[in-house]
Amino acid sequence: MKNMKKQGKKHFSGKGLSIKQKVTLWYACMLVLIVLLLFGFIFSISRSLLQRESDSRLEEVVLDFVDDIDFENGSYELDDDIRFYEDGVIFSIYDEQGRLIAGSVPTNFPADTVLKAYSFQTFSTGESTWSVYDAALSQDGQILWIRGVLPSETLFSVERTMLLVLLIACPLLIAVALLVGYSITRRAFLPIEEIRQTAETIGAGGDLSARIPTERTQGEIRQLADTFNEMFERLETSFEHERQFTSDASHELRTPVAVITSQAEYALLPDATPEEQKEGLEIILEQAGKMSSLISQLLMLARADNGSQQLTMAPTDLSLVASMTTEQCQDMAGQRQIRIDCEIAPEIIVDGDQASLVRVFLNLLENAVQYGRSGGFVKVSLSARDGSALCSIADDGIGIASEDLERIWQRFYRADPSRSPGGSNTGLGLPLVKWIIEAHHGTIWAESKPGKGSCFTFQIPLRQKQNKDTLL
């Protein structure tokens, strides 16, 4: 097991690159690639411009040289100030057969070249390269060729300089790209690092009240941080409810267990009379019944939470359920001299679980009688309205304070212990009622004023009448 944990931790930490490092490398590579492409484009354009400028200069110099030649009657004369080397260009003169008759050619210049009138040529031998421009003078059917040869060292020197600059600048460029990329990535991932640290703090210390700071976050990172904060808030609320639920359930079960234990010990005393033993057994049975009811409610709510509590939906006459439960509570109401008035419309049909709906009516009616005013009334109304069954159960009892009205749906919550005569209220009835109503796609709400009574109202959708159904 230890080895598995070590492997899991090792796998979690990972030996590969982090996302931050990967993004930095991608950024640096893309930046370097773009710069290299741009440099290559500039290099290509510069070379083309330099070549064009070199050819233009060569042509101009050769044509100037031609202007200084007088070709007449098969012979030529040169001006006194003419030179066969000017501006880096070497001049040579050829006869019609291509024999060199004046000037010179560069060392290692190829001897078997072709003369082409007024066109550029490039010749290479080994490491030397020359640009060549030929001009032709024609008179009386005779041709005199003038050639200008320009070594390409200047052009190659510029290219070598650019390549040298590239070789020097490229490592520096990569270093700058990595530093800038890492800085930008670190800033971009700083909110994610804060999310990780907050989650780690919560995981290590169990402090669910911690939240991710969102002051410096924007866009998708802000949405992610808000989502995590909402999740932490729900987790905190859920764990708090779970702790409160466990504490309240323990407290509710501790009282009947203590009563059962004390009564059993008392009944086992040697001097206990049969009447006292019988009384003790009756109290034990009563407390066991309370425990059974509490456990049943807890089990149903737990199943509801995890989605395993299934309701059997079928066509149900809600009017019949209301009348039946009202009749069942008449004895309890009579003991407190409370009158139950009914306004129940007939044949209110819904799709529902009959047993669960009976539990809803019994719980609301028992609460109305229990917290009603002695000698007062409870009014039950049921009607169909806007495609829903609308039911209200009102009393003129002690009522509920406004600050407690929204909390009555919480499990084990009781606004005032004095509201539970004899400690019979566990605080689970209303949460169970709310879940049942919502499971029937309905809603329930409460209205109350202290000293004037309460009214609980719920509505659930009516059954859509399609065929003649057999009612339960």
pLDDT of residue 175: 80
pLDDT at 420 (0 to 100) = 47
Which residue matches tokens 């439960």? 325
Q: Give the 3-state secondary structure percentages of the chain, helix then strand then coil, rounded to 5.
A: 55, 20, 25
Report domain extents, the chain.
17-67+153-207, 78-151, 219-305, 314-414+427-461
Which amino acid, residue 170? C
pLDDT of residue 229: 81
- Position 217 confidence tier, pLDDT thresholds 50, 70, 90: low
Q: Cα separations (Å) of 378 from 146, 336, 390?
A: 127, 12, 17
Q: Which residue has the higher pLDDT, 457 or 64?
A: 457
Q: Among 94-98, 155-159, 218-222, which range has the highest average pLDDT? A: 94-98
| pLDDT greater than 70 at residue 467 | no
46-57 pLDDT tens trace: 778 877 888 888
pTM, entire model:
0.49
Residue 7 confidence (pLDDT): 43
pLDDT(15) > 70: no
Is the pLDDT assigned to residue 281 strictly greater than 80?
yes
Cβ neighbours of 131 (radius 10 Å)? 20
pLDDT, tens digit, 9 for 90 and up, residues 68-81: 887 776 677 777 66
Identify how many contiguous H helices and E strands the chain contains and give both numbers: 10, 15
Q: Is there a shared CATH topology between the 219-305 domain and the 314-414+427-461 domain?
A: no
Higher pLDDT pick, 155 / 431: 431
- Report CA dihedral (297, 300, 304, 309) to the nearest 10 degrees: -160
Task: Name the residue among 118, 175, 462, 180 with its Cα closest to residue 317.
Answer: 462
Whether the per-residue pLDDT at 165 is higher than 90: the answer is no
Q: What is the pLDDT of residue 16?
A: 66
Please report which confidence band the pLDDT of residue 415 belongs to, taking 50, 70 and 90 as the band edges: low
* Burial class of residue 380 (count of CB atoms within 10 Å of its CB; 0-12, 13-18, 19+): buried
Domain 314-414+427-461 in CATH 3.30.565.10: yes
| Distance from C-alpha of 253 to C-alpha of 361, rounded to nearest angstrom | 25
Q: Kindly tell me if the per-residue pLDDT of 9 is higher than 60.
A: no
Q: Does domain 219-305 have CATH number 1.10.287.130?
A: yes
Amino acid occupying residue 343: E
Which one has a higher pLDDT value, 58 or 365? 365
- C-alpha distances (whole Å) from 446 to each of 41, 265, 313, 325 are 77, 44, 26, 20
